[in-house]
Amino acid sequence: MSSNTLQQANHQSEAPVAVYQFVKTVGKVTGGIVLGTMMLTSSIVAGGLVGLAISFRNLPDVRILRSYVPSETTHIYDVKGKLLTSLHGEANREVVPLDKISPDLKRAVLAIEDSYFFSHRGVNPGAVARAFLANWEKGKTVEGGSTLTMQLVKNLFLTPQRTFSRKVAEAVLALRLEQILTKNQILELYLNQVYWGHNTYGAETAAESYFGKSSADLNLAESAMMAGLIQAPETLSPFVDYKKAKQRQLVVLRRMKELKWITPQEEAAARKQPIRLGKVTSFQGSIMPYVTEATVQELTKRFGRDALLKGGMRVQTTVDTKLQRIAENVVKQWHATLVNQGVYADQMALAAVDPRTHFVKALVGGVDYRKSQYNRATQALRQPGSAFKPFVYYTAFASGRYTPESIVSDSPVSYPDGYEYYTPQNYDGSFYGPITIRKALEVSRNVPAVRVGQDIGLSKVIDVCRTLGIRSPIEPVVSLPLGAVDLTPLEMASAFATFASNGWYSETTLIVQVTDSMGNVLLDNTPKPQLVLDPWATASLTDVMQGVITQGTATAARLDRPAAGKTGTTSSERDIWFVGYVPQLATAVWVGNDDYSPVGKGATGGTFVAPVWRDFMEQALRGVPVENFRSPSEFPRP
């Protein structure tokens, strides 16, 4: 039934029936004298309220409701539109226009809450008079006599205390509201505002919770049950007491039949209609908690916590569910494998970034979120070891003073470091003598990296790191080229993604787009790549790092396509890494212990982490075309 039809039915069928039944009932109890008194009282109340409307000048200004938007639940989706989680404060609500709500639900609510809604002007004098007599008889407030409009202003502006002054204020505000909004506008506000139990507000969210469907799709039986809950949603909830909910449903259906808004046949059919319940939707967890919590952090920095919980945002993340599931499974399975191989590591993290967009494609912050909610991919600052060396060698190439074939001395050397001297050592304790940078990086020699860092200046290396989006604190200590700095796996994956794109950088993000519930764009993270690195130097670095995989310390990371990367192992084997990339995906994998204890003597990134990286990349790139890296010969030397 449309709102116009509903309004006509209200005028044509309800008023005579309701008035007749009301008069008949009152007549039986008190006789004609009381009826006359009541009608007089009704007139006095109605007239008095109009006068009060003029005098109540300290009440809230209802005109703000012309632009009022209720607080609304925020929904977070993956890149393809799959719902990951919903966020809200106390009110779990999704706002929908009136024409998107089932006509059955609108009729059912009006029938049980305010059947004169379309004929009164905010206050129903007859209902007020009935409430006055009932309360006077009992000596306390037992009946409210509120119209739907009065309920709305009470919920929005007033306290829930049952006092005479509050009731008068409620009536005054209702009269004012009816002067500035249409009936349909008020009904839409009400149906989106009303509380339906279990932290569920508004018809749409309640329908999704109770019946697992949109409010537009509710049938008569479901509508009557939902309308019946408004009186006492927690007590009458079918999740709490299905028998009470069913009894209340029958009261609503009977009332609709009395009003001739449904036929006896429709009532009988609705009574027998099976009800399939949904599940409580408030405060549900995420199906990808590491991803959504990192997304929430990014959103909070941009919009603030309050706007996130109440703003009804629709957030499209950059993460592909399929890729994320691959990453989660790889981390869980390989953690068990590494433990069996004698690696004493309690945690692992993985971050994957698309070099073409700098969109995060997968993010795993730990082995099992249920056991630990700490997101090591975005929050754990760990030393990258030799995986930091590419930043040093890129800076050297970009300076124009070094090429991959430049010779560096791999021989004993010491440098002043504070009040002491720092003497770098290679992992095996040996020295190779003169060595090319290409070879030094392939086999991860430490002394050449420290020598080059001192020659080009560590401040320039730090500048490159900042250009690549690394924000963690970095000190220019002599051992910096060997990874004496704390970085997150996501920072490492993002920085290597810029190497993979030949120096093109965009801000790394988990968010593609944010809109409000009406589709208005609040944030558009369409990549705006900028060339921030020298193309020749980047291509040269990638060329050298391909050798790390084909013939260096990371042969366990070989793929069936060109790939570049770098192993990382810190002193005392506290952190072991592999960070690598193909043109379409850059991934960092970290393995270690939260208490910084060693993972095992002789455990290296090349031996134990490179196979993890390879497994993830092989699965993630299945069906993705093979692409070659750009050759240094395509670009002029700086």
Residues labelled catalytic: 113, 386
What's the one-letter identity of residue 188? E
* CA R_g for the chain: 35
Token look-up 């944010």 returns 514
**Contacts within 8 Å (CB) and 24+ apart, 39-44:** 39/129, 41/129, 41/132, 42/125, 42/126, 42/128, 42/129, 43/125
What's the one-letter identity of residue 112? I
- Gap between the Cα atoms of 72 and 559, Å rounded: 47
Token look-up 């490179």 returns 610
Q: What are phi and psi of 38, to 5 degrees?
A: -65, -45
Checking DSSP bridges between strand 585-592 and strand 575-582, what pairing results, if any?
antiparallel
Q: Where is 521: in which H helix or E strand?
A: strand 521-524
Q: Where is 242: in which H helix or E strand?
A: helix 242-258
DSSP state of 318: S
Residue 426, token pair as written in the block: 């290679």
Residue 182, token pair as written in the block: 């249409």
Q: Look at residues 195, 220, 221 and name the one whose alpha carbon lies nearest to residue 209.
A: 195
Q: Look at residues 160, 167, 201, 172 and name the one whose alpha carbon lies nearest to residue 62.
A: 172
Paired with 177 in beta bridges are none
